[in-house]
């Protein structure tokens, strides 16, 4: 498999974790998002949205990290990253979507650039925007983990699921953008538990060959 990736990309981080959990080898193709590699014609032919990740599996092209995670789960079911029970699956997917669908889209490079270059926000205002939306996601995760009877070592039970993958990729930028994570002890406990696992640790942005 070939993964188009960038070390700091949350969405690429999700796919790296899932591939590692499933024990699947990959070859990385690095794009530097701050230098605009995603807009090169060669890449937009692969991914017209000009975003990473894109995963190539044989002749197949896959895009959108959550769709890729679901594909990996269906094609390579062991070890599972979704529970079996329909209600538990919906819970886990719901937690994941807080990160994937609600928080992350508000802080991607193209949004951050729009805030400064078009709306002329100052660096302080842009940072406040990022911290606000990351914090909102963490706040919701903390509350849901607290009320879920089946919260365990992880968001659901005692093995890592898609919810944990997306919790980790919410916390990493929160740390990078210096959010106060003090109010989210349950989230941070799960974050630390995940990063103690080799599959998560090896996928960490700062462990990637393109890390700066």
**Where does this chain bind ligand GSH (CB under 6 A)?**
9-11, 33, 38, 51-53, 64-66, 100, 108-110
CB of 81 to ligand GSH, least distance (A): 15
DSSP characters for 39-106?
A: GSHHHHTT-TT--S-EEEETTEEEESHHHHHHHHHHHS-SS-SS-SSHHHHHHHHHHHHIIIIIIGGG
CB atoms within 10 A of CB 37: 17
Q: How far is CA 185 from the centre of its chain?
A: 20
d(CA 141, CA 89): 16
Comparing CB distances to ligand GSH, the nearer of 104 and 148 is 104
Q: What is the phi/psi pair of residue 28, to 5°?
A: -95, 140
Of 42, 69, 113, 49, residue with least CA distance to 203: 69
65 or 208, CB closer to ligand GSH? 65
- Closest distance between ligand GSH and the C-beta of residue 135, in Å? 18
Q: How far is the CB of 172 from ligand GSH (least distance, A)?
A: 11
Strand, helix or coil for residue 118 = coil
For the bound state, the minimum distance from the C-beta of residue 153 to ligand GSH, rounded and expressed in Å, comes to 25
Shortest approach of ligand GSH to residue 53 CB, angstroms?
6
């Amino acid at each position: 498999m070939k993964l188009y990736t960038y070390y700091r990309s949350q969405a690429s981080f999700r796919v790296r974790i899932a591939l590692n959990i499933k024990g699947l080898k990959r070859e990385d193709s690095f794009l530097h998002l701050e230098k605009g590699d995603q807009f090169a014609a060669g890449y937009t032919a692969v991914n017209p949205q000009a975003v990473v990740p894109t995963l190539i599996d044989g002749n197949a092209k896959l895009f959108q990290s959550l769709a890729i995670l679901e594909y990996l789960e269906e094609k390579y079911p062991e070890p599972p990253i979704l529970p079996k029970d329909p209600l538990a699956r919906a819970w886990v997917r719901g937690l994941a979507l807080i990160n994937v669908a609600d928080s992350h889209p508000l802080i991607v490079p193209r949004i951050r650039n729009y805030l400064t270059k078009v709306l002329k926000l100052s660096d302080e205002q842009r940072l406040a925007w990022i911290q606000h939306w990351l914090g909102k996601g963490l706040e919701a995760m903390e509350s849901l983990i607290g009320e879920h009877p089946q919260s365990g070592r992880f968001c659901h039970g005692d093995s890592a699921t898609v919810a944990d993958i997306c919790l980790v990729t919410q916390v990493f930028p929160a740390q990078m953008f210096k959010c106060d994570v003090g109010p989210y002890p349950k989230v941070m406990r799960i974050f630390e538990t995940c990063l103690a696992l080799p599959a998560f640790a090896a996928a960490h942005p700062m462990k990637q060959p393109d890390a700066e």
